[in-house]
Structure 1
Amino acid sequence: MSDPFFLIRVLLLLAAANGAPVVARKLLGNRFGTPIDLDFKLPDGKAILGPGKTIRGLLVAVIATMLAAFVLGLSVSIGLALGATSMLGDLIASFIKRRLGLRPHAQAFGLDQIPEALLPLLVLQDRLGLSAIDIGVIVGAFTAVEVILSRLLFRLGIRERPY
Structure 2
Amino acid sequence: MTILLCLFLLLVANGAPILVRWLPGIRHWHRPLDADHHLADGRQLFGDHKTWRGLIAAVLLTAAAGWLLNLPLWLGALFGALSMLGDLLASFIKRRRQLTPGAAAPGLDQLPEALLPLLVLYQPLGLGWQEILLVPPLFMLINVLMSRGLYRLHIRRRPW
TM-score (norm: length of structure 2)? 0.95
- Is 1:19 the counterpart of 2:46? The answer is no
CA distance in 2, matches of 1:69, 1:140: 21
Identical positions, percent: 50
- Of 107, 111, 120, which aligns to 1:110? 107
- Of 73, 76, 82, which aligns to 2:73? 76
How far off its partner does 1:29 sit?
A: 9.0
Q: Which residue of 2 aligns with 1:119?
A: 116
Q: Which residue of 2 aligns with 1:9?
A: 5
CA distance in 2, matches of 1:139, 1:88: 15
- Corresponding residue SS for 2:151: helix
TM-score (norm: length of structure 1)? 0.94
**Matched AA of 2:8:** L
**Matched AA of 2:18:** V
CA distance in 2, matches of 1:95, 1:145: 23
- Of 118, 129, 132, which aligns to 1:132? 129
How far off its partner does 1:106 sit?
A: 0.4
Unaligned runs of at least 5 residues, structure 2: none
Unaligned runs of at least 5 residues, structure 1: none
CA distance in 2, matches of 1:135, 1:75: 21
**Paired residues, what number?**
159
